[in-house]
Structure 1
């Protein structure tokens, strides 16, 4: 029986593809086409056809993105790729149906000339409900992944409401520090490997005092984790809070 290529990913091939080897990347994508189709079809809730359904293109791009973004700290490559594909497809559906979709009861009762009820709107509503449920599942998954990431820093999700700075200016300074870390490859590496903040450098580069950074250390860590991870719903929530202020 032929083995599933997704279960036997070549570490060396993945490493070459991640480092910019175009031939290795093309080979990896080619070997994973069945996996990509299967994952995308599962998210779509129906069988997808190459060259027909746009979701396949979205999934292929997501898999290509996963190759470039993958690191050992993100667990297995297969699991990471599945997550990226799922999230990009949810983003695709959300943008595609961003407008209100009100369906009147009368629209569900149209009949064709033979008297058969047309299923188009019913199917659309069922798929919309399913997609909303899937979005909720992704939100729950993101929170679970955040909890796991926080645990590595000696923190828990339950702490987050308590560690948020009370004053707006303090929050803004803390968020500015998080953004500074997120946009610096050197600081991100330090953050992930040391599991702590590069406080000395942050004081020098941001002009924010050591006292402020240390006082809001946990909040800065939590926001930084959200900014540097692939959690679109949590990132959307954080950016919305920032804009509201």
Structure 2
């Protein structure tokens, strides 16, 4: 095997690895077709780098119409991957913006993120009861209005409506307020997180 063939074999093997790593079944293309496209693309790139494509390897040797079709499939795959990457970045940016808005809203109630870490109920059943209290406030307009206007829990109105004592409500005040703000606000990512964790 000469050096050129050795290079081609190495490039082919790297292309197979790349195809294994990047293949997605949603594209509708079989793995073998996809791998063939990736290998051909890598080899063409290699030939271009070596400046031998125009002299030694005519495009027709890669299948003419088949090559155009393969390029179309590869472009679709690359476009899909680029869109997925863009959506991830956009989602990450939206999530950061949402947390910034939520932090600002918490500050209006005298609550910080570090407060939430220290005041979050440690036991799951206590957390669930605190969430029930938050949902009660979110669902009842009178309770919600009291919270929004006075920036405090409507403890008197909540008596008898929840299964926890007033003392417990006072101890979990910041956590309950913070959860209520998520439920009532326009916080898609935080609401999704709450659904998954509850």
Take 1:207 and 1:188, find their aligned partners in 2: how far apart are those partners?
Answer: 19
* 1:106 match: 35
Q: 1:112 to 1:178 in 2, by over 3 A?
A: farther
Take 2:131 and 2:107, find their aligned partners in 1: how far apart are those partners?
Answer: 21
Q: Give the TM-score taking structure 1 as reference length.
A: 0.53
Take 1:229 and 1:142, find their aligned partners in 2: how far apart are those partners?
Answer: 10
Take 1:219 and 1:182, find their aligned partners in 2: how far apart are those partners?
Answer: 14
The structural deviation recorded for 1:107 is 7.5
Answer with 1 or 2: which has the greater Rg. Answer: 2
Deviations 1:182-209 (A, max 9, x none): 1112222221121111011112322421
Task: Answer 1 or 2: which has greater helix percent.
Answer: 2
* 1:134 match: 90
Q: 1:241 to 1:115 in 2, by over 3 A?
A: same
* 2:53 match: none
Take 1:101 and 1:156, find their aligned partners in 2: how far apart are those partners?
Answer: 43
Question: Structure 1 regions of 5+ residues with no counterpart?
Answer: 1-98
Answer yes or no: is the 8 Å Cα contact 1:182–1:228 preserved in 2. Answer: yes
Question: How many matched pairs?
Answer: 144
Q: 1:165 to 1:138 in 2, by over 3 A?
A: same
Q: 1:107 to 1:123 in 2, by over 3 A?
A: farther
Q: 1:186 to 1:133 in 2, by over 3 A?
A: same
Answer yes or no: is the 8 Å Cα contact 1:177–1:206 preserved in 2. Answer: yes
Structure 1 runs, 4 residues or longer, greater than 3 Å off = 99-105, 107-112
Take 2:173 and 2:25, find their aligned partners in 1: how far apart are those partners?
Answer: 41
The answer on 1:215 being equivalent to 2:171 is yes
Alignment of 1:89-104 (within 5 A): 101=26
Q: 1:107 to 1:124 in 2, by over 3 A?
A: farther
Pairing partner for 2:185 from 214, 221, 229: 229
Answer yes or no: is the 8 Å Cα contact 2:131–2:176 preserved in 1. Answer: yes
Q: Give the TM-score taking structure 2 as reference length.
A: 0.65
The answer on 1:122 being equivalent to 2:78 is yes
The structural deviation recorded for 1:163 is 1.4
The answer on 1:240 being equivalent to 2:192 is no
The answer on 1:161 being equivalent to 2:113 is no
Partner-residue secondary structure (3-state), 1:205:
coil
Deviations 1:150-200 (A, max 9, x none): 000111123222211112221111111001011112222221121111011
The structural deviation recorded for 1:108 is 5.6
The structural deviation recorded for 1:101 is 4.5
